[in-house]
Amino acid sequence: MKLILLGPPGAGKGTQAKFLQEKFHLAHLSTGEMLRALVASGSELGKKAQEIMSNGQLVSDDIMVDMIRDRIKQDDCKNGFILDGFPRTIAQAEALDEMLESEGKRLDHVIEIRVNDEEMVNRVAGRYACDKCGEGYHDQYKQPKVSGVCDVCGSKEFTRRKDDQPETVKRRLESYHAQTAPLLPYYKKSGVLKGVDGMADISDVTQQINSIVSH
Ligand code: AP5
């Protein structure tokens, strides 16, 4: 199964991708995580990406398309994959179609997680993750069972993303509406687009997605 999760910053793409990855044994391809790894490497390309990301803008299509072209060839993608954060422009979507078509493959589902912009700024600004294992938490919606201790690995160190400051989140939302939302009519035309209510509880959103991908 090959699917895309589409939605603005904070819609819950990463949260839902992790559930799908476990349930259906799919590779989770998050371009945001790939870029953050590139930034952490300290390379020249990573430095350029950091500047763009901290301004809430999009990294160039060429870089992103090459990154995904290499990634989907890897062994763990043979059973299928979930794209989280890619494509983000029409040019990226067209390049993905070409990549899949050249191997006789196609997308099974594009799922739009629908949310309100106002709520997204709060959601993203309240988010943090375990430093050691990356498990995600939220000040309001998902706190560790024992305060200050990661549920998964027991670490007591947590971090917040640099691009999660409210002003940067607003710019990321603007980029979404200007450059990524045009993908909705693009995928509607090809008949693969479905929508879920992303304002519902996390488990409810998971159920909505499961019922789409299980049919
Ligand atoms: P990326 O890392 O992809 O960020 P994003 O798309 O802005 O998405 P987020 O990770 O912020 O949100 P999410 O939808 O995954 O929500 P989450 O599950 O974490 O990209 C970062 C940057 O990299 C971009 O700005 C761009 O610069 C660059 N980039 C990446 N891909 C690119 C590309 N293809 N082209 C060009 N540039 C690219 O949930 C958020 C919080 O809400 C969590 O705390 C979670 O617990 C909570 N939550 C989730 N669901 C619910 C719910 N239903 N109810 C209550 N709380 C919930």
pLDDT tens per residue across span 145-179 = 999 999 999 999 999 998 998 899 999 999 999 99
User: Which residue among 4, 13, 68, 119 is best mutated to probe the pocket of ligand 1, counting the most ligand atoms within 8 A of its Cβ?
Assistant: 13
Pairing of strands 2-6, 81-84: parallel
Burial class of residue 63 in the structure, from the number of CB atoms within 10 Å of its CB (0-12 exposed, 13-18 middle, 19+ buried): middle
pLDDT in tens, 101-136: 999 999 999 999 999 998 898 889 899 999 999 999
Question: Would residue 172 show up in a list of annotated catalytic residues for this protein?
Answer: yes
> Which SS3 state, helix, strand or coil, does residue 149 take?
strand
Q: Ligand 1: list residues with CB < 6 Å.
A: 7, 9-15, 31-32, 35, 52-53, 56-59, 64, 85-86, 88, 92, 123-124, 127, 136, 138, 141-142, 163, 172, 198, 200-202, 205
Average pLDDT over residues 6-25: 95
User: Which residue among 21, 33, 58 is best mutated to probe the pocket of ligand 1, counting the most ligand atoms within 8 A of its Cβ?
Assistant: 58
Comparing C-alpha atoms, which of 198, 26, 209, 205 is closest to residue 116?
198
For residue 9, the CA-to-ligand 1 centroid distance in Å is 4
Single-letter amino acid, residue 166: P
Listing from the earlier edge strand, what are the strands of the sheet with 27-30?
Answer: 27-30, 81-84, 2-6, 109-114, 193-197
Of 2, 13, 36, 123, catalytic: 13
Report which ligand 1 atom has the smallest distance to the Cα of 32: 2
Report which ligand 1 atom has the smallest distance to the Cα of 68: 34
Mean pLDDT of the chain: 95
State if pTM tops 0.85.
yes
pLDDT in tens, 75-98: 999 999 999 999 999 999 999 999
Question: Would residue 161 show up in a list of annotated catalytic residues for this protein?
Answer: yes
Q: Rounded to whole angstroms, how far apart are CA atoms 215 and 212? A: 6
